[in-house]
Amino acid sequence: MKIYVDADACPVKDIIISEGTKANIPVTLVTSFSHYSATKNPEGVETIYVDSGADAADYRIMKLAQNGDLIVTQDYGLASLGLAKGCTVLHHKGFIYTNENIDQLLQSRYVSAMIRKSGKRTKGPKPFTSEDREKFKEVFLSLL
């Protein structure tokens, strides 16, 4: 198993790096060049930089990920592709994407996009909380 992180806006990278390295599982952070950092990664953690294009990180993760790997993302499209490839896919708020819930999530995203396209407003995501952080850590550790 390897862990791939859609890292541009991931608020739990520190948990993933800490717990992944403790478990000796390789962690790959995929992020755009606009988030470049000169910080040295710990042993077992790699950062891959991609162009700032809309889905560049998603495409790189899908190129690298294999059946049985773990992907952490908030992107429903990437989650859908990861599931189809046999990966376990986890949201940073601690819920696991499944074949049973992904269609409804994608449909909800589509409906919201159509509402915005028509000029109306939709609610954004709820703020990330310390409870979300703890839930993520609990689920993440259970998957490791």
Per-residue pLDDT of 105-137, as tens digits, reads 888 877 888 888 888 887 777 899 999 999 999
Q: How many domains does the chain have?
A: 1
List 31's β-bridge partners, or say none: 49
Query: 93 pLDDT exceeds 90?
Result: yes
3-state secondary structure of 104: helix
Q: How far is residue 6 CA from its own chain's centroid?
A: 4
List 90's β-bridge partners, or say none: 72, 96
3-state secondary structure of 77: helix
Query: Average pLDDT of 4-23?
Result: 96
List 28's β-bridge partners, or say none: 4, 46
Query: Average pLDDT of 61-67?
Result: 98
Count CB neighbours of 4 within 10 A: 28
- Looking at every residue in the chain, the average pLDDT score rounds to 93
pLDDT for the residue numbered 61: 97
- Residue 127 belongs to domain spanning: 3-143
- 30 dihedral zone (left: phi>0; alpha: psi -120 to 50; beta): beta
Write out pLDDT tens, residues 29-49.
999 987 888 889 999 999 999
Query: 51 pLDDT exceeds 80?
Result: yes
Distance between CA 99 and CA 110 in Å, rounded? 17
pLDDT for the residue numbered 60: 97
User: What CATH number has the domain bearing residue 84?
Assistant: 3.40.50
Using only the alpha carbons of the chain, give its radius of gyration: 15
